[in-house]
Amino acid sequence: MRKLIMGIVEFREKMLPQYAEQFSKLALAQTADALFITCSDSRVVPDLLVSTHPGDLFTMRNVGNLIPPATAEGDSTGDLSEASAIEYAVLVLEVANIVVCGHSECGAMKAVYARNPKMKAPNLDKWLCHANDATYRLEHEGPLDDRLKPHDQLSQLNVLVQLEHLMTYPMVRQQVTAGTLVLSGWWFDIATGDMYAYEPASRSFEVIDRALAERLAARLAPRGR
Ligand SMILES: [Zn+2]
C-alpha cells in the first residue's frame, strides 16, 4: 500500500505536468471507442499492454473476466454491474468494439478447473458458475490448444463463452448484426507478454504480431453510428 501512496506523489511530481492538458480536456468528455473486459488479476495491465492513454479505454474488470448472460428481455442473470458497463459503453459511449481478454495462470480459471473450493467463499463460488460452459466445452469438445496447461485451455474457452454471453444482450446483438459493433476475444500469456486474438478461421488464438494486427484492424467497424 505504501507503494500506492508514494506512487500518487510520484505521479503528481513527475507525470502530471505532461498529462495536465490532456486531463483538462478529458474532464469534459471521454471518447473511448472500445469496452475492454478483463480479469482483475494484477498482472494484466490493459493500458500497458495495448499502449493506451487516459480516455482511450472503457474498462470493466472482474474475477475471471465473466459476463453473466442476459434473459430474452435483456436483463442480467447475474450481477448488474457487468450489464451496466455494457449498456453504458454501447448506448452512451457508442463504442465500436468490445474486447474480452482472458489470461494465462488465471486464479479464477484454476478454481473453476479444480472444482474443489478450498476457501469458504460462497459469493466467489456462485460467481464462477458463469464459466461453467467453458468447463463443459473443455470436457466434451476439447481444448483449442492442447499444448497449454488445462487451466489455460479452460481460460481460452472461457473467452469464447463470455463472447457468447455478450451476444445474449439484445443491444449488443443488434449492433453486431448491423455491423456497428465488433466483438473480439483476446488472451494474454503472462510468461511471454504475448497477446493473442481468437481467429475463427483457424479456431485458435494467434499471436497479435504486426501481420495479424493489420488483418484485425481491417475488420473494424467504422467509428460512430
Ligand atoms: Zn484471472
pLDDT of 224 reads: 44
Distance 115 CA to ligand 1 centre (A): 16
> Do 14 and 123 share a structural domain?
no
Residue 154 lies in a domain: yes
Does residue 94 form part of some domain? yes
Q: How many domains does the chain have?
A: 2
For strands 194-199 and 97-103, give the pairing.
unpaired
Residue 225 inside a domain? The answer is no
Residue 26 belongs to domain spanning: 1-30
Ligand 1 centroid, distance to 189 Cα (angstroms): 11
- CATH no. for residue 110? 3.40.1050.10
How far does the centroid of ligand 1 lie from the alpha carbon of residue 63, in Å?
Answer: 6
Distance 46 CA to ligand 1 centre (A): 13
Q: Is residue 122 part of a domain?
A: yes
* Predicted local confidence at residue 167, as pLDDT: 98
Same domain, 48 and 118: yes
Tell whether 139 and 128 lie within a shared domain. yes
pLDDT at 115: 83
Measured between alpha carbons, how far is 183 from 167 in angstroms, rounded to an integer?
9
User: Is residue 4 assigned to a domain?
Assistant: yes
pLDDT of residue 118: 62
pLDDT of residue 225: 46
**pLDDT value at residue 222:** 63
Same domain, 92 and 26: no
Residue with cell 485451455: 153
Q: Tell me the residue length of the chain.
A: 225
Query: How far is ligand 1, taken at its centre, from the CA of residue 39, in Å?
Result: 5
The pLDDT assigned to 30 comes to 86
Q: What is the pLDDT of residue 146?
A: 96
- What nine digits make up the cell of 13? 511530481
Q: If you compute the radius of gyration of the chain from its CA atoms, what whole number of angstroms results?
A: 18
Q: How far is the CA of 156 from the centre of ligand 1 (A)?
A: 11
Compute, in angstroms, the gap from residue 105 CA to the centroid of ligand 1. Answer: 7
Averages of pLDDT over runs of 10 residues in the chain (225 residues) are 91 91 89 95 93 92 97 91 96 96 97 80 92 97 97 98 98 95 97 97 97 91 55
- Does a structural domain hold residue 209? yes
Q: Which burial class, exposed, middle or buried, applies to 36 when counting CB atoms under 10 A from its CB (0-12, 13-18, 19+)?
A: buried
pTM, rounded to two decimals? 0.93
User: Is residue 223 situated within a structural domain?
Assistant: no
